A and B are shown apart, each in its own frame.
Chain A
Amino acid sequence: MLTVKNLRKSFGTLVAVADVSFSIECGQLVGLLGPNGAGKTTTVSMLTGLIVPDRGEVMIGGHRLDGDIDPAKRRIGLVPQDLALYDELTARDNLRFFGALYGLSGAALDGAIQKALQLVELSDRERDRVRTFSGGMKRRLNLAAGLLHDPDILLLDEPTVGVDPQSRNAIFDNLETLKHRGKALLYTTHYMEEAERLADRIVVIDHGSVIADDTLAGLTNRVAVAGGGAATLESVFLSLTGRSLRD
């Protein structure tokens, strides 16, 4: 469903992404891991057309993503790390706005809003202003806004930052549901246990390049652990990216 080929992006002399390639199939959740400054966010930005790559291409269902108004962008949903919501509007008005950006209107928009709110369990708060929501509720609404137009691909940039275990668990359940509906999900996170729980495959990038792309089992098998026990994803991650501090 989503194929990324040899993406490169630099800002002046800084090469943010040197060479990134991977793919995601329908019904698959791929975890995108990397230390701070590894190039994760820049990669996600290129996948959604927020920045134009210097080189390489993004294929959506075999179609090369090209330009701001490429209809293929309708097949992508973005859940940004920031809570990109209008606090002064109600949950429903936020979703009405974001749905309209994808051409939804009338009954189709109303139906999409209901479905999205049901999924994230916020139907009873649809008329409330977002500023009255807890951090976890805002995160769930942020997710709902990204999948309102029923995209085939959902890009989630650290969607659980700053939420309590209950809300995080609810978000995980939502993502499992979406995966079972056949959506292709790309999930960037710093939390290893989240990737361990959710990801069918894990892509590790560092210094702007993919340094590993495998299943959890495949990755853990790469690392030998003293005493013969099973390696964790965190130990694999540290083994691949080193222990030196990053930005």
Chain B
Amino acid sequence: MTALLAMVRKDLQLFFSDRRAVIMSFLVPIAIASFFGSIFSGPGNNAEPAKINIAVIDRDGTDISRGIVSGLSGDRNLRVATPSEEAARAQVKNGKTSVAVVIPPGFGEASGRAFFGNASKPELELVYDPSRSVEFAMVRGILTEYVMQAVSREMFGGRQGRQYVDQVLPQIQSSSTMPDDQKRALILLLQSAQQLNGRTSPDNASRAPGITMPYSVKEAAMTSGDRVAYNGYAHSFAGMGIQFLLFAAANLGIEMLLERQRGMWKRLRSAPISRMLLLAGKTLSGTIIALMTLLVSFGFAMIVFKVRIAGSLAGFLAVSIACSLMAATFGLLVAALGRTPASARGVTTLAVLMMVMLGGAWVPTFIFPAWLQQLTLVVPARWAVDGLDAMTWRGIGLAGAIVPTLVQLGFAVAFLAVAMSRFRWEEV
């Protein structure tokens, strides 16, 4: 026990004596997690959503095109500007505007005809920034709503709609090619529209609003409780905490390789202590350092960003300890498989980044393809992130910590077994 405690104390002394390692382990994850948290925190309860900059060029100048511009301008998700077409294209090109909507001359008339019949559909030109495909898709959806609303409103009671009905009804009545039953139905429809038009003025604001969304949405974010807003910092601190505790543990493995290079292991191995004790010492010190990294990060998040352990404190500690143990044994794996500190450092950096990326520490795993989402189940960081999410913002109880904890302990046992079997014990 004396030797074990001495090994742990020595590793902790060495860790805290290296100012750069301490900064890397404590301050950097806090800084990066704060940044990611501020980006992915979501709008919260009362905050306005981030608006998408779009430009609209109305070259049509009809009631329909004006209706579209008016609808877009009132949407809470958009910030609409109406520059010249040339200026709009330049803004999209230099990234200041996501999408430019060009409404061409004749759009209103053609869209009205296409609304009822088989007339050719007019084109709306959308000029977009290809690096903002998500925003483009959103703008296209919003635009559809306002185009349908403006066209239908105009065609049911607007000036253009009245002219269209008056013009088309005689043509249908005199048509010899249209089947009788179809002709009767269409005449009935247009006569009804004519009657409706006769009861209201085209300038009357109370006339039919056109086709609108036939539902409204009640949004309910599923967090740890009613009226508890999602705190994105909980996820970002989990992800970045895990990333940097893995880096800290990997560094411990690289330190072991450096110790070997410096002949330190000759002294360690010449002492009457077992191989298991040597690895246990390293595992214990690695676990403590990793746990400190995680807890300091979360402590900061709790104080500054009001992150709360809404689930189970015991579960949070269980996931954290299991995660730290997994990371420490990962460090042993680095020491066992690495040939030189330099080569191990390169491979380890890649391995850690892959692990945390696939583990959902940077971006949520749901955006991955289905096959990749399945693959991430064999990534220990995924279980660590899921476990910490469950214990913090999701507010799941102790039961939610059991599987992530056990899986991570399983990874720790596997890493330790491989490390023990591959460790070079002989020192020449």
Say if A and B assemble together. Answer: yes
Interface residues of A (CB under 8 A from B): 16, 41-42, 45, 48-52, 68-71, 73-74, 76, 78, 80-84, 86, 88-89, 93, 96-98, 100-105, 145-146
- Chain B residues with Cβ below 8 Å from A88 are 13-14, 17-18
Q: Is B428 an interface residue (CB 8 A)?
A: yes
- Residue on A nearest B281 in the bound complex, by CB: A101
Q: A69 with B263: in contact, given A88-B18, A100-B5 (CB under 8 Å)?
A: no
- Chain B residues with Cβ below 8 Å from A16 are 428
Q: Are A101 and B428 in contact, CB atoms less than 8 angstroms apart?
A: no
Q: A100 with B3: in contact, given A42-B428, A80-B266, A80-B267 (CB under 8 Å)?
A: yes
Distance between Cα atoms of A105 and B5 in the complex (Å): 11
Q: Are B10 and A50 in contact, CB atoms less than 8 angstroms apart?
A: no
Q: Are A84 and B428 in contact, CB atoms less than 8 angstroms apart?
A: no
What's the nearest-Cβ distance from chain B to residue A236, in Å?
Answer: 28
7 A-B pairs with the lowest CB-CB distances in the bound complex, closest first:
A82-B263, A100-B6, A101-B271, A73-B272, A48-B270, A88-B17, A50-B427
* Number of B interface residues in the complex (CB < 8 A): 27
What's the nearest-Cβ distance from chain B to residue A237, in Å?
Answer: 23
Q: Are A102 and B272 in contact, CB atoms less than 8 angstroms apart?
A: yes
Q: A84 with B264: in contact, given A45-B427, A51-B427, A96-B6 (CB under 8 Å)?
A: yes
- Chain A residues with Cβ below 8 Å from B9 are 97
Q: A69 with B272: in contact, given A82-B266, A88-B17, A89-B14 (CB under 8 Å)?
A: yes
Which of A74, A80, A93, A100 contacts B263 (CB under 8 A)? Answer: A80
- Chain A residues with Cβ below 8 Å from B5 are 100
What's the nearest-Cβ distance from chain B to residue A39, in Å?
Answer: 10
Distance between Cα atoms of A13 and B272 in the complex (Å): 30
Distance between Cα atoms of A146 and B337 in the complex (Å): 29
Q: A51 with B262: in contact, given A96-B6, A101-B268, A104-B2 (CB under 8 Å)?
A: no
Q: Are B2 and A73 in contact, CB atoms less than 8 angstroms apart?
A: no
Q: Are A68 and B274 in contact, CB atoms less than 8 angstroms apart?
A: yes
Q: A73 with B427: in contact, given A83-B263, A89-B13, A97-B6 (CB under 8 Å)?
A: no
- Chain A residues with Cβ below 8 Å from B267 are 78, 80, 84, 98, 101, 145-146
Q: Are A49 and B10 in contact, CB atoms less than 8 angstroms apart?
A: no
Q: Are B10 and A69 in contact, CB atoms less than 8 angstroms apart?
A: no
- Chain B residues with Cβ below 8 Å from A71 are 272
Which of A74, A86, A145 contacts B272 (CB under 8 A)? Answer: A74
Q: Is B228 an interface residue (CB 8 A)?
A: no
What's the nearest-Cβ distance from chain B to residue A231, in Å?
Answer: 33
Given A50-B270, A50-B427, A50-B428, list of 18 further CB < 8 A pairs? A51-B426, A51-B427, A68-B272, A68-B273, A71-B272, A73-B271, A80-B267, A81-B263, A82-B262, A82-B263, A82-B264, A84-B266, A86-B10, A88-B17, A89-B14, A97-B7, A100-B6, A101-B6
Q: Are A50 and B272 in contact, CB atoms less than 8 angstroms apart?
A: no
- Chain A residues with Cβ below 8 Å from B59 are none
- Chain B residues with Cβ below 8 Å from A145 are 267
Q: Are B272 and A70 in contact, CB atoms less than 8 angstroms apart?
A: yes
Q: Of A16, A105, A145, A146, which is in contact with the most chain B CB atoms at under 10 Å from its CB? A: A105
Q: Are A78 and B270 in contact, CB atoms less than 8 angstroms apart?
A: yes
Which of B263, B270, B428 contacts A73 (CB under 8 A)? Answer: B270
Q: Are A49 and B14 in contact, CB atoms less than 8 angstroms apart?
A: no
Q: A103 with B274: in contact, given A82-B266, A83-B263 (CB under 8 Å)?
A: no
Q: Is B121 an interface residue (CB 8 A)?
A: no
What's the nearest-Cβ distance from chain A to residue B271, in Å?
Answer: 4
A to B CB contacts below 8 Å, 14 in the list? A45-B266, A50-B266, A68-B272, A68-B275, A69-B274, A73-B270, A78-B267, A78-B270, A82-B262, A84-B262, A89-B14, A98-B271, A100-B6, A101-B267
